[in-house]
Each structure stands twice: as structure tokens, then as C-alpha cells.
Amino acid sequence: MKILHAADLHIDSPLWGLSQYEGAPVDEIRGATRRAAVRLVDAALTYEVSLVVIAGDVFDGDWRDFSTGLFWIGQLNRLRDAGIPVVMISGNHDAASEITRNLTLPDNATMLSAEAPQTIDFPNLGLAVVGQSYSERATVDDLAAGYPPASAGVCTIGVLHTSLSGRPGHGNYAPTSIDVLRSKGYAYWALGHVHQREIVSRDPWIVFPGNPQGRHAKEVGEKGATLVTITDGEVVDVTAIPLDAVRWASLEIDLSEIVEMQDVVTVVRGHFAQLRRENPDRLCAVRIRVCGRTQVHDELWRQPGRIEAEIRAIANEFDDLWVEKVVLATQRMRDAGGAQDDDAVRELLERIADLANEPQALDSYAAALRGLRDQIATTVRGDEGAPIDLSHLGSPEHLKACLADSKDMIMALLDEGQ
């Protein structure tokens, strides 16, 4: 018997950092969470599973309109047609308090209670599934502690949306411990909430399947669900099944060996070809960091937008490749240019060096960033998994990095005039 365990579908979540430029596959990226959900059902049908278990956050938040709910009901109906039951719980993103619109579920699907732990028996499968939904977003009680112990001789699956004892980047919801989970005598704990796949324990099995579709540049690599094989009431195999429609990747492109701009194109093309080889059959979304102490540094910094446009132009040569962002982080050659021999320039450099060592003087520039930070804070969610760490804006480290960047740009522009 096989069971498919998924979590954190976040259907219709806007993928972060969706920038539009000529040739960008915008529609494909926008529909990624739905396509991953379709693939989840495809996998359930392909592997002829007996049950699908979903451990919370099917939705990203309240539906904008009924199309989100209708889409999901359509997928549940595909499972209904195949006679496959679905047991779900809600998580912090789709807790009852967060969702104002609702649709009646087909009769093969059950959303477990948010009032108390609920058990669904599948006597024909020799299985029981226990779980509890979130009634509110910020659920801070140890829900698992209230789950009933397994009945003797019944293979029991616990479904729980939790951060366990805490996971970086994830809200600390329904915290609990491995000991509490172990004490229940269940065969398998189907967890959700943490977007990174993780096998927490093998005895009993405690598994985060991760989300089926990464939502931003920090949720990199293969994403999917977990296929669980049960024989004679025991879990005998646990396998990751990739489902992501868009795969996020992070590329570091070192230009240390580069002498001329046209060589940059060759290097980037090589990286892209490798990325395509390693991730066939799906769209790749890539964040690029261009780094290294390089002779082309000044040329890059004189026209900061150019390298990004060059890289995107190369991406367009490849099928299914989208550049989310280009971060320029190269360094100057130590002996570059002659501008620093000029008295005025030397004074400027001294002033920059002084500023770097005067936290208070530097902090006066933070005021300019505070307004920007507040403005972003009203439009961008800073909750779990958000790609932008707003606290960083205007921090001493951030100001120091800005200062270093300014120096690079100034020197590049001055040396051009030499």
C-alpha cells in the first residue's frame, strides 16, 4: 500500500521577485503553484496510492476570488474519480481565521477538525489517520500532545503542521518535541510547515516533505512530496517525488580569470548550460551573484545595469531559464587605475575610509533608508520564508556594504576619465 504525503502547497502564492523583462516566462512562473498541485494529483494516480495526506497550508491565505478554491476542488475530484481519499489539515496560512471564502469539499476529502484531534479510520486499509487543523494563524499550543495514542494493531499516521522545536525562517507554531511524537506509538508522522524537506526520524518516521513548489530564490533545489510504502502495517519505504514546475537555483559566477567583457558572456553561457543539464524538463529560476577580483570590475561598475541585461540576453538563448536577479559583487584589482594618485581622489578615499570607522557618522545616512524600509514594510509580508529581511536595511553592516559599493562605483567612474 502506498500513501502520498504533501504539505505547504500555497496554491496561488505569488512567487517572489517576479520581474518582467523581454522574453521572461511570466505566465509559467505565475502558475507554478497550481502546476505543482496538478503534478501532485498526477503522482497519486501514477503510483496508485490508497490515500493522500496533506499537512496544512494548501492555500497561501484568503482566496482573492473563488477561482483558487474551484481549482483545488477540481484536483480533489480527479482523486475522487480514482477512488482515492484525501485527509487534510489547515495550517497557519489557511487557518479558519484566515479564510473567509469556502467551498464544499467532495466526499472523498476530509478537512480534520480545528476543535480537537480527529481520527479517521480506514478499516479496509488497516489504517487510522489522526490530526488537528489550526483555528488561528498563530497556534502556539503543543497540538500533538493532545493526540490520542495509537490503538493496538492499527497502523496510525499523525498529521501535524508544526515547527517542532523551531526551524530557522519558519514561524514557531504548534511547537512540540520528537519525544511527544514518539510517545503516541504512530507508524508515521506526516508533518508540514517547514518548506525544506527533512527526515527528522526513522523510528518512528517523522517527515517534512517540504513544499511542492519553491516560492522564492531562497527555496532552491528539487521540491515535491513524499511517497510512503506500507507493508503489513509497517512503513518499509519513504521516497521523495519531485513535483516542482519551476525550480529555483542560485549561481555564483566568479570572474577572477576574466580579462575582457566578451569573456564574461562565455563564462555565463557555460554556467547556464550546466544548470540546464542538471535540471532537465523544467523551468529554472536563477539568482546570480557575480563575484571575484577581476580586471573587468571597473567596466561592470560603470554601467551597473549592463551585466544584468547581458546575462538576461544570454538566458534567452536557453529554453526554460529565467533570471530572477543579478547581484554584482566583484572586487577591484589591487593595482587598478591611476585615479588614486590624484590628491583630491586620495582625500575622497580617506573620507570614505574614515566613514567606515565612524559608526555614528555612517548611521546618519540610515535615516534616508528608514523611510524606504517603512514603505516596503507596508507592501511586503515579512512572515515565514519572506525573501527580504527588512531589518537589514540601514543596519551598520548594510551601510558599510553600501559605502564599499559606492567607493567601487566612484573609482570605476574616475578611472574612466584618466
Strand duo 127-131 + 155-161: pairing? parallel
Nearer residue to Mn ion within complex by CB, 13 or 156: 13
Nearer residue to Mn ion within complex by CB, 39 or 193: 193
Nearer residue to Mn ion within complex by CB, 92 or 118: 92
Pick one of 13, 68, 92, 213: the residue that binds Mn ion (CB under 5 A): 92
Applying CB under 5 A, which part among 185-193, 270-278, 330-338, 359-367 lies near Mn ion? 185-193
Other Cβ atoms less than 10 A from the Cβ of 407: the count is: 17
Nearer residue to Mn ion within complex by CB, 92 or 196: 92
Applying CB under 5 A, which part among 12-20, 175-183, 192-200, 401-409 lies near Mn ion? 192-200
Q: CB of 415: closest distance to Mn ion in angstroms?
A: 50
Name the amino acid, one letter, at 341: D
Applying CB under 5 A, which part among 175-183, 190-198, 298-306, 342-350 lies near Mn ion? 190-198
Report d(CA 416, CA 418) in Å as an integer: 6
195 contacts Mn ion (rule: CB under 5 A): no
Q: CB of 240: closest distance to Mn ion in angstroms?
A: 19
308 contacts Mn ion (rule: CB under 5 A): no
In the three-class reduction of DSSP (H, G, I as helix; E, B as strand; rest coil), residue 298 is classed as helix
Nearer residue to Mn ion within complex by CB, 91 or 212: 91
Nearer residue to Mn ion within complex by CB, 143 or 150: 143
Q: CB of 366: closest distance to Mn ion in angstroms?
A: 33
Under 8 Å between Cβ of 280 and 247 = no
Report d(CA 99, CA 134) in Å as an integer: 11
Under 8 Å between Cβ of 361 and 355 = yes
Long-range contacts of 343-349 (CB under 8 A, 24+ apart): 345/414, 348/410, 349/407
Report d(CA 301, CA 365) in Å as an integer: 22
Q: CB of 8: closest distance to Mn ion in angstroms?
A: 6
332 contacts Mn ion (rule: CB under 5 A): no
Which residues from 345-374 bind Mn ion, rule CB under 5 A?
none
Q: Can you spell out the DSSP letters for 7-47?
A: ----BTPPPTT----TT--HHHHHTHHHHHHHHHHHHHHHT
Q: What is the dihedral of CA 284, 290, 296, 302, to 10 degrees?
A: 100
91 contacts Mn ion (rule: CB under 5 A): yes
193 contacts Mn ion (rule: CB under 5 A): yes
Q: CB of 91: closest distance to Mn ion in angstroms?
A: 4
CA 156 to centroid of chain Cα atoms: 30
282: phi > 0 → left, psi -120 to 50 → alpha, else beta; which? Answer: beta
Nearer residue to Mn ion within complex by CB, 24 or 58: 58
Number of residues located near Mn ion, criterion CB under 5 A: 4
Applying CB under 5 A, which part among 112-120, 186-194, 300-308, 392-400 lies near Mn ion? 186-194
Best CA proximity match to 351, nearest among 337, 362, 365, 341: 362
Nearer residue to Mn ion within complex by CB, 57 or 310: 57
Pick one of 57, 60, 298, 408: the residue that binds Mn ion (CB under 5 A): 57
Q: Can you spell out the DSSP letters for 250-280?
A: EEEEE-TT--SHHHHHHHHHHHHHHHHHHST
State the residues that interact with Mn ion by CB under 5 A: 57, 91-92, 193
